[in-house]
Amino acid sequence: LLHNIDIRWLSTLLMIEHAILLCAAIDRFLDSHDFPELKKYKLNDVEWQALDVFKDILSVPHAFQQKLSSEKTPTLCDSIPSFEAMTDKYPDCAAVIQPGLDKLEAYRAHISCVPAYVLAMGESLKIFRCEV
């Protein structure tokens, strides 16, 4: 099993995925008579289902981060549309997503008229309203 690292949200997703994958083995281990003091940590069906829901929830920002991570292709141009797509798909999370959009908008406003940046963004020039 993997350990959770508080400052890395992805570790929580990976820990949950491994626990779900090893569910049967974990249950057998906790049911064994060798470690009776650990029996209190056994999850019931509802708790396993909750873990599955958390996995689905955390998979969204993971996919988002993967989409925006690239070693060879500029992906900053995809960030605002990606944040907006997340807001559309998860309207209940809009209050959490909006600060990210606000930060990106402030960044875009600050550097959108830098010629090297505008050229690096290529096709995404439509999002810039820059008078040069």
d(CA 112, CA 129) in angstroms, rounded, equals 8
Per-residue pLDDT reduced to its tens digit, 66-118: 777 766 565 666 777 777 777 787 788 778 777 877 877 787 777 767 776 66
Kindly report the backbone phi and psi dihedral angles of residue 24, in degrees, each rounded to the nearest multiple of 5, phi listed first: -60, -45
pLDDT band at 5 (very low <50, low <70, confident <90, very high): low
Per-residue pLDDT reduced to its tens digit, 6-20: 556 678 889 999 999
| CB contact burial 60-72 (16+ within 10 A = b; e otherwise) | eeeebeeeeeeee
Per-residue pLDDT reduced to its tens digit, 13-55: 899 999 999 999 999 999 999 989 999 999 999 999 999 988 8
For 33, the 3-state DSSP assignment is coil
